[in-house]
Structures are given as structure tokens and as C-alpha cells.
Amino acid sequence: MSIDSEYHRILPGSDILRDWIHTGKEQGSEIYSTPVGVLACQRSPLLRQLDAIVVSSVLSTPPPLAKGAKKVVIAPTIPKGAICLEVCLNDTVIFPEGGGQPSDIGIITTQDGTVWNVLQAKRQGGQAIHYVHIADGNIDRALQIFCAGAQVKVELDQAGFDRRYDHMTLHTSQHLLSALLETRLNLPTLSWSMTSAGPCYVEIPRGMSLEEISSIQAEANRLVFEGRKIHVEVEELDAKARKPVEKTETGRAIGKGLPEDYTGGVNRVVVIDGVDRNPCCGTHLPSLNNLQLFILPQTDALSRSSTTVARLNFLAGPRLISHLASTHSHLVSTSAILSCGTPQVPDRVKLVVDDRRSATKRVEDVELELGKYIATDLIQSLGNTGELFKKHVHRTDDSATALSFLTAISSAFSDEMAKLQSQTPYLIVLTSSPSAHSSTNTNVVFVFGSEDKRVKEVGDALKVKLAVKGGGKGVKWSGKFTGLWKNGKEDVLVEEILDCVA
């Protein structure tokens, strides 16, 4: 493939870059790897396959991720225990992660016809390293096949290309979006993230109004419609000429400088004609055509310790289409449940939520009222002997808040006792089970009494004898019992526990 093109331009004075690119046609010379910055995937982003030569291969021994280490970009994860070779080729169409763009995945076909999965690619210094999965676990054979000088075919298969195309549309969109925010609204991009699914985002120093967002959206659409061309300019990186990355007052870097561990020696700038020039190592589409950038019409404020930042979400390309398809299907299924047209969904949902709120309120009121009746009923059977009154009451209740009803009964009980100025000591266990006959039922238990000690004694016994999980404080104890509550068994156990309390 060609080194120079309309898309890939080596700037005057940097002719040496042509020698750095190992095309595989160099006769009889040493095989070396093309540095990251001028890889085939960076020179020709739509290229899907390439004949390549192995420069080196070693068994991969990934260091464990340091505790608290933050992953900068979402890399395709190498499954735990997968044995990989780290393979360096003379050149590649598989992009190693960088510039906020995650690594590609792909395949390598060796001369014996074996197809090997490349699980990820990473930049080490200035080289792209392919993590080649050894599916059969035969390391010796793999090392033999990937010996230096071996001819291979490196390729983005359909899954690899779909993934790459998604990344390209989003990464190029980010450049376009950041450029417009910067030049039209003086809003620098503080950082950006290519998420693994759903909208991506840029972070900017403040929130944006709807008008601002729609003006940026309209401007982006105009440039996409025009199909502005994109090209890449590369030159030899003179280390001394590296400028420090511009920072904001709070010390956050604006944009991206070259990574400090980059040793590839290439300075690369991605240019959107008439719109933007941005140092970047990513793979970018050759034109804005069909980019379909869509900005979600709101910013989310994030507050961090020292700064306030707003997030602007965007979508593009195939991800935009799948996002629209899925949100549309959510909307359609919601409207079917609500039996209304999609435009009526928000009003209908509001109605349902309001109804639900007032129904909940009514249930609470009725429970309070009913709680009083149950409490009064209990008090009537109290007698006036001065002896300890012990009682277990079991209820069937399918409410998710059955415990709060038991609490309401206990509160009504103690209120009523206080009103009557009754001195009779009491110890009461309330239990509640769902109506379903299921071994996964969650039953609730509430114990209350006139003395802490007795309540605790019952609670402790419930834990031991019924395996109730719970705890309490003072004259109240509550817990949960998982399983089917049976009349002849659990009820009897509770009675036994109460019988033991003196």
C-alpha cells in the first residue's frame, strides 16, 4: 500500500519517515517494525487487511492491574487465563489503543492456514504489540509459527471492522464537536470518553443552553452535509520541540499531548478541512460524509471537589442508529403497556405515577387505621391480672412493606397502653407471610414488649431456633425469615419461644 496519499501527508523535511515505514518490499534488509504514528491503520483507516512479516514474538505475562489503577480507555478485555503471544509485525491494520480510542480486535492468518484471534493491541514505547490468543494452549508451536521473518496476513474481520468503524465515527465526531465548541463558544474540551456502548461524551467547563446545543448541532450538520475532507499530516518529532500541554487554572490538561512513554518519533496532526487541526494518533474517517453526528440536547453537571464540569453526550454513525432503534423500541413497548400513542407516553406516565403516589398514601392511612383496631383487639384480651401478657399474631400480607404495617400495629398498641396508663407487662410477636406457597418467601417478624430484656430474649431465640435474620434496639426487634411459614411448624416454634419467657 502507498505511503503518501491525499489522506496521509508526510510534511516536507520529514522524508525520513518513509524509511521508517517497513512495507515488506525492502529486499534483503533487516525486518523492523513501523512505529506507531505511521502504521498502515493510521495511513489508511479503511484498509482491512495487510500482508505482514513477524518482527518478534514472546509469551505474554501481563502484570496484574495495580490496585486503584484507572483504566484510561475501555480495552477489550483478555479473558482470564487466556494464553497470549505478544507479536510485533513490520506493519499492521490493527490499531493499538491511544488518543482515547480503544484497541481494535482482529485476526492473523499464518502460513499454515491457522487463523489466530488478536484479542487486543497495545502500544509499547513506539511499537504496536498484538495480543494473539493461543487457543490450543500449545505455546511452543505458536512461538515456532510466529518466528521472526514469518509471513502472515493481518486483518480486521467483520467484527473487527464493525468495531473500528464505530470507533472512527465517534472519534472523528469528537474532533468536530470539540473544534466547534472551542471556536464558536470558547469552550475547551477538558476530556472526552469513548464509552463501550451508548452515548460518548466530552467534558467542558460549564453547562450549555438548549440554544447553544442546537446551534452547534446545526453547524455540525452543515459540515457533515458538505462532506468536509479529513487528512493527516505527519512529521518527524523533534523531542526538543515538544511543547508542554496547555493546562487550565486547576491543572487539568486541555486536549492531549503526546503520551510521555511514546518513543515512535512521529508527530501526527489530524486535520478537518477548514475546521480543526488536532494532534492525535487515532484512526479517522477520510471525510465527514455520513458521520450523522447527534448531540443529546442537554448537559449533565458533574461536581468534583475543586471544579464544576459539564458533560455533553453525543452519538454518531452505526451507534446512533442502534441507539435510536433501541430507544424507539423502549418507547413503543411502553406505549403498548399504557395503551396510548407514543406522544402521549410522558403524560400517561405522569398520571400513573400520580395515581400510584395517592394510592400509596391511602394504603398508609388505611393501615394506620386498621393497626389501631388490631391493637385495641389485643389490649382487650390483656386482662388485669398484672401477669406478663404474651401473644403471637400471624397475618397474611402480600405487601412489599409488610413490616411497616407490623410497626404501625406496635405503635398503636403502645399509644393505647399509654393512654390507658396500663401497668400490665406484655411481650408480643407479630409475623407476616405472603399468600404464595413458596420456599423463597420472605416473611417478616416484629417483636415488641414492655421490657428490653424480654424482647432481646425472644429475638435471640428466633435467631437460633428459626434462623430469623434480624436485630433490634430497646423494646423493638425485627427480622426476616426466608422459606414457607407453616402453621404447624413455625407458628408452634414461636409459641414455644414465648412460653419459655418468664
Give the residues lining the site for Zn ion (CB under 5 A): 99, 280, 282
Nearer to Zn ion, 257 or 483 (CB): 257
Nearer to Zn ion, 254 or 368 (CB): 254
Nearer to Zn ion, 9 or 463 (CB): 9
CB of 146 to Zn ion, least distance (A): 31
DSSP state for residue 435 in the 8-state scheme: S
How far, in Å, CA of 326 to CA of 345, rounded?
Answer: 16
CB of 268 to Zn ion, least distance (A): 10
Q: Fill in the amino acid letter for 313.
A: N
How far, in Å, CA of 9 to CA of 11, rounded?
Answer: 6
DSSP 203-240: EESS---HHHHHHHHHHHHHHHHHT-BEEEEEEE--GG
CB of 280 to Zn ion, least distance (A): 3
Nearest Cα residue to 83 out of 23, 123, 143: 143
Nearer to Zn ion, 99 or 434 (CB): 99
Q: Residue 485 class from Cβ within 10 Å (0-12 exposed, 13-18 middle, 19+ buried)?
A: buried
DSSP state for residue 243 in the 8-state scheme: P
Nearer to Zn ion, 164 or 456 (CB): 164
How far, in Å, CA of 490 to CA of 443, rounded?
Answer: 11
Instruction: Give whole-number Cα distances, 249 to 188, 190, 202, 242, 408, in Å.
Output: 13, 12, 19, 21, 56
CB of 175 to Zn ion, least distance (A): 6
Nearer to Zn ion, 98 or 199 (CB): 98
In 3-state terms the chain splits into helix, strand, coil percentages (rounded to 5) of 35, 25, 40
CB of 35 to Zn ion, least distance (A): 18
CB of 31 to Zn ion, least distance (A): 30
Instruction: Give whole-number Cα distances, 285 to 165, 469, 497, in Å.
Output: 9, 59, 75
CB of 319 to Zn ion, least distance (A): 17
Residue, CB closest to Zn ion: 280
Nearer to Zn ion, 260 or 499 (CB): 260
Nearer to Zn ion, 54 or 176 (CB): 176
CB of 297 to Zn ion, least distance (A): 24
Nearer to Zn ion, 189 or 433 (CB): 189
Nearer to Zn ion, 37 or 282 (CB): 282
CB of 161 to Zn ion, least distance (A): 20
Nearer to Zn ion, 280 or 461 (CB): 280
C-alpha cell at 325: 432503534
Number of Cβ within 10 Å of residue 191's Cβ equals: 16
How far, in Å, CA of 358 to CA of 296, rounded?
Answer: 34
Rg of the chain over all Cα atoms, to the nearest angstrom: 34
Q: What is the 3-state secondary structure (H, E, C) of 441-459?
A: CEEEEEEEECCHHHHHHHH
Q: Is residue 499 helix, strand or coil?
A: helix
CB of 284 to Zn ion, least distance (A): 7
CB of 142 to Zn ion, least distance (A): 34
Nearer to Zn ion, 35 or 282 (CB): 282
CB of 245 to Zn ion, least distance (A): 14
| 354: CB partners within 8 A, 6+ apart | none
Question: Are 272 and 282 contacting, i.e. CB atoms less than 8 angstroms apart?
Answer: no
Longest dimension (CA), the chain: 111
Question: Are 31 and 148 contacting, i.e. CB atoms less than 8 angstroms apart?
Answer: yes
